[in-house]
Structure 1
């Protein structure tokens, strides 16, 4: 899951990154309006944690922009203000949830997972195709009810494929989703090729009824055999 944290308080931002990284999320950060606008214009996120009070303006301006882009339904507002007006404005702009500082990271994590389930899985914790079943809560894969071990990137790749069944996924989109905006520093996509190769091998050995097909020069597609 790819998350953008928009928060100007460095200590809190660092705490969130350290804590949420333990959940195997792909995390990116922004500390002001300009950097946040730049990221949301280029990248897609499964969840955005949005501080309302930023040094160069209001987080509600970002939320307004997200609404015009059709991306505001995956936002959790973070605010030190226990203000009904802020909450009403944020929810009216399409935010999914609202949490007041200070908060426990465990509670925030539970809300993040709830946003993801509502947005992508109709409230479920699993995604399936053929005899392949991925449990997002446990980060586990079973094929015909037998457990198959995946490393972190293999899991994230398969998760993204299963959320986009039978759809062509470009190498660039896959790289951005699984590796984040640091992909800009890569010279080529060879690292994706090797992860896909290993994932295919594991699926074949477990006799999965799905296959990752290469679309020459473009990307990949997950479909049933």
Structure 2
């Protein structure tokens, strides 16, 4: 999952980033309102973890921006503010959850996973597509009830394909989703071809239907309507 953490407390920022990184997430950080606003305009995220009290602005205004430009993005407010009005205002503006500080990182992780399931997979723990069963929380894939071995990037790529099934996905969107800020360092995105090719090869070797299709000059589509 690709997550944006909007938090100006450096120690909390480090601990959240480290923990969610161990869970195989791509975590980008914004220290203030302006940097968060810029990232939201340029990149797409599965989830934004948002402190309300920020340098240079109010986190509530960022919720409006996210919901106007990226309505599928999940938002969890993480704030030390105990104001009931702030919580209600945030939820009314479109935030999905509210977790007051201090909190346990495993609880935050569980809420992120639950939010992603609700937003992308109708809240189910197991995603079934014909002969394929995918378990996002366990990072496990079964084809015809037999497990297949995927690299971390291949698994994340498959999840992203399924979340956007039957849509055309541009190569730059795939790279940004899987590599986050590091995507800016690449001269071109041709290398994504090898990751897609390897994923497709493993699926076909397990007698899976050929869902991944190339769209010349644009990117790919994961076509489940065969």
**TM > 0.5:** yes
Matched, 1:57 2:57: yes
Deviation at 1:167, TM superposition (A): 1.7
1:29-178 superposed matches below 5 A:
29-71=29-71, 74-178=74-178
Q: Residue deviations 1:71-105, cap 9 Å, x none?
A: 38611001111110111111111111111111100
Deviation at 1:152, TM superposition (A): 0.5
Q: Over the residues paired in the alignment, what is the CA RMSD in angstroms? A: 1.4
Residue ranges of structure 1 left out of the alignment (5+ in a row): none
Deviation at 1:7, TM superposition (A): 0.2
Deviation at 1:70, TM superposition (A): 4.9
Could you tell me whether the CA contact under 8 Å between 1:16 and 1:105 is conserved in 2? yes
Deviation at 1:220, TM superposition (A): 1.0
Could you tell me whether the CA contact under 8 Å between 2:72 and 2:119 is conserved in 1? no
Q: Residue deviations 1:12-38, cap 9 Å, x none?
A: 001000001111111111000111000
Return the alpha-carbon distance in structure 1 between the equivalents of residues 81 and 41 of structure 2. 27
Could you tell me whether the CA contact under 8 Å between 2:46 and 2:73 is conserved in 1? no
22-31 or 123-132, which deviates more: 123-132
Q: Residue deviations 1:29-52, cap 9 Å, x none?
A: 100011100011111111100001
Could you tell me whether the CA contact under 8 Å between 2:64 and 2:93 is conserved in 1? yes
The TM-score, its normalising length taken from structure 2, stands at: 0.95
Partner of residue 223, structure 1: 223
Q: How many pairs align? A: 225
Return the alpha-carbon distance in structure 2 between the equivalents of residues 221 and 66 of structure 1. 25
Could you tell me whether the CA contact under 8 Å between 1:52 and 1:58 is conserved in 2? yes
Deviation at 1:210, TM superposition (A): 3.1
Q: State the 4+ residue runs in structure 1 displaced beyond 4 angstroms.
A: none
Return the alpha-carbon distance in structure 2 between the equivalents of residues 180 and 127 of structure 1. 25
Residue ranges of structure 2 left out of the alignment (5+ in a row): none
Partner of residue 26, structure 2: 26
80-89 or 126-135, which deviates more: 126-135
- Three-state SS of the structure 1 residue aligned to 2:191 is helix
- Three-state SS of the structure 2 residue aligned to 1:29 is strand
Return the alpha-carbon distance in structure 1 between the equivalents of residues 223 and 22 of structure 2. 31
